[in-house]
């Protein structure tokens, strides 16, 4: 079982010939809507790999909330702990992409931004029987803190994907098993610029000292740098693919990693699997809809 505690937002995407200036209205299109949010995307990635996934999040008492629930159900994700907020709306990401491929995004977390300790605690029993718990920073800090504390109490390993990066109580780093920052997030955590493999080692060492035994820094198409003490770590190179849309690559990586660890794979093997899930996800447009199935990943790894 993989339990994901985090965000759900509806992605509302439009192409635009150029980015509107302040006060300007641009006629864009086409328009596309889809399920999103880091938590939701990671849950879909793990479910499509074959994990039994429980999603802990919160939506509004509105049509987008019903849409979220229907999508989770379609993906075989358990919605017992998808709470409904009577006041806040379901979160949304307003995404504009111009003809150069540049984007402009406003994320309104809405209901999932107010997930409470009490709500996370209601999921205590499922956290207790999980093989792995996956959490990001795209919900309230109190939900993140409660998740880590509950998992620790039940001896369940936690993957923290520190995204999107913002300040959080650093003490929780001592209670998690894996951390998966990308280059920017590793830099925010340590103050060290992360670009090369050598930079990744220095940043990973600094994060390790904060109390995380397994540091996995994702380096885009370069792959994932893994460190767990000692002189140096190991680079697991990314798979070569024709990248079409890299949004959601990190989410695919985290969902793939959670699946692989929950199904008992050794960490090295799990990182390779996560790299493969993420590589396939960048060959398709979108976030949740771009997540590959286990059959696609196994066929890809076989060649
Ligand atoms: P984020 O999406 O959070 O910025 P990264 O860009 O580091 O995260 O990507 C996460 C993972 O996705 C990488 O570790 C790698 O496995 C995979 N990935 C990203 N971009 C590519 C690419 N162009 N080709 C192959 N794999 C990629």
CA–CA separation, 70 vs 168, rounded Å?
Answer: 32
| Domains within the chain, CATH numbers bracketed | 2-302 (3.40.1190.20)
What percentage of the chain reaches a pLDDT higher than 70?
A: 100
285 pLDDT higher than 90: no
Atom of ligand 1 nearest to the CA of 223: 14
Per-residue pLDDT of 103-118, as tens digits, reads: 888 999 999 999 999 9
**Residue 211 CA, ligand 1 centroid: distance in Å:** 25
pLDDT by residue (tens digit) across 44-63? 999 999 999 999 999 999 99
Select from 134, 187, 188, 218 the residue to mutate for testing ligand 1; criterion: most ligand atoms less than 8 Å from CB. 218
CA–CA separation, 30 vs 15, rounded Å?
6
Confidence band of 4 (pLDDT split at 50, 70, 90): very high
Examine the pLDDT at 101 and tell me if it is beyond 80.
no
C-beta of residue 139 within 8 angstroms of C-beta of residue 57: yes
Ligand 1, atom 5: nearest CA belongs to which residue? 220
Least confident of 145-149, 241-245, 258-262: 241-245
pLDDT at 262: 98
With H, G, I as helix, E, B as strand and everything else as coil, classify residue 101. Answer: coil
- pLDDT, average across residues 122-139: 98
Annotated binding residues, as ranges? 9-11, 37-41, 138, 182, 218-223, 245, 247, 250-251, 275, 281, 284, 286
Cite the annotated binding site for K(+) by residue number. Answer: 245, 247, 281, 284, 286
3-state secondary structure of 288: helix
Query: Which of 204, 233, 246, 286 best tests ligand 1's pocket when mutated (most atoms within 8 Å of CB)?
Result: 246
Helix (H, G, I), strand (E, B) or coil at 161: strand
Tell me: ipTM over 0.95.
yes
Phi, psi of 109 (to 5 degrees): -65, -30
Atom 10 (ligand 1) nearest CA: 250
Distance 252 CA to ligand 1 centre (A): 9
Helices (H), the chain: 38-49, 63-74, 117-122, 124-128, 141-153, 183-190, 197-209, 249-262, 267-281, 294-302
Q: Per residue in 179-210, is it b (16+ CB within 10 Å) or e — as a string?
A: bbbbbebbbbbbebebeebebbbbbbbebbee
Please identify, by atom number, the ligand 1 atom nearest to the C-alpha of residue 252.
12
Residue nearest to atom 19 of ligand 1 (CA): 220
Reported as a single tens digit per residue, the pLDDT across 155-186 is 999 999 999 999 999 999 999 999 999 999 99
pLDDT at 123: 98
* In the predicted structure, residue 14 carries a pLDDT above the cut 90: yes
Q: Which residues line ligand 1 (CB under 6 A)?
A: 182, 218-221, 223-224, 238-239, 241, 243, 246, 249-250, 253, 275, 278-279, 282
Label residue 209 by pLDDT band (50, 70, 90).
very high
Instruction: Point out the annotated binding site for ATP.
Output: 182, 218-223, 250-251, 275
* Residue 4: alpha-carbon gap to chain centroid: 9
Would you call 61 a catalytic residue per the annotation?
no
pLDDT for 189 equals 98
């Amino acid at each position: 079982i993989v339990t994901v505690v985090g965000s759900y937002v509806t992605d509302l995407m439009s192409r635009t010939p150029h980015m509107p200036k302040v006060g300007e209205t641009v006629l864009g299109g086409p328009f596309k809507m889809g399920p999103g949010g880091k938590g939701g995307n990671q849950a879909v990635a793990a479910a499509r790999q074959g994990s039994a996934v429980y999603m802990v999040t919160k939506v509004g008492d509105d049509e987008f909330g019903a849409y979220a629930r229907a999508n989770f159900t379609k993906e075989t994700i358990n919605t017992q702990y998808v709470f409904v907020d009577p006041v806040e709306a379901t979160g949304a990401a307003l995404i504009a992409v111009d003809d150069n491929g540049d984007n402009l995004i406003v994320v309104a977390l809405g209901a999932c931004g107010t997930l409470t300790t009490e709500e996370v605690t209601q999921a205590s029993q499922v956290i207790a029987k999980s093989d792995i718990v996956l959490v990001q920073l795209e919900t309230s800090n109190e939900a993140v803190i409660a998740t880590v504390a509950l998992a620790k109490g039940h001896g369940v390993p936690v993957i923290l994907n520190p995204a999107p990066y913002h300040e959080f109580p650093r003490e929780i780093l001592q209670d998690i098993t894996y951390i998966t920052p990308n280059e920017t997030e590793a830099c925010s955590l340590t103050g060290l610029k992360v670009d090369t493999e050598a930079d990744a080692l220095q940043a990973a060492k600094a994060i390790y000292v904060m109390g995380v035994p397994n540091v996995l820094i994702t380096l885009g198409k370069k792959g994932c740098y893994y460190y767990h003490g000692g002189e140096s770590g190991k680079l697991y190179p990314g798979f070569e693919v024709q990248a079409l849309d890299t949004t959601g690559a990190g989410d695919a990586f985290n969902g793939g990693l959670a699946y692989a660890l929950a199904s008992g794979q050794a960490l090295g093997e799990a990182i390779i699997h996560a790299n493969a899930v993420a590589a396939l996800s960048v060959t398709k447009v979108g976030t949740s809809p771009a997540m590959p199935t286990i059959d696609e990943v196994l066929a890809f790894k076989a060649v």
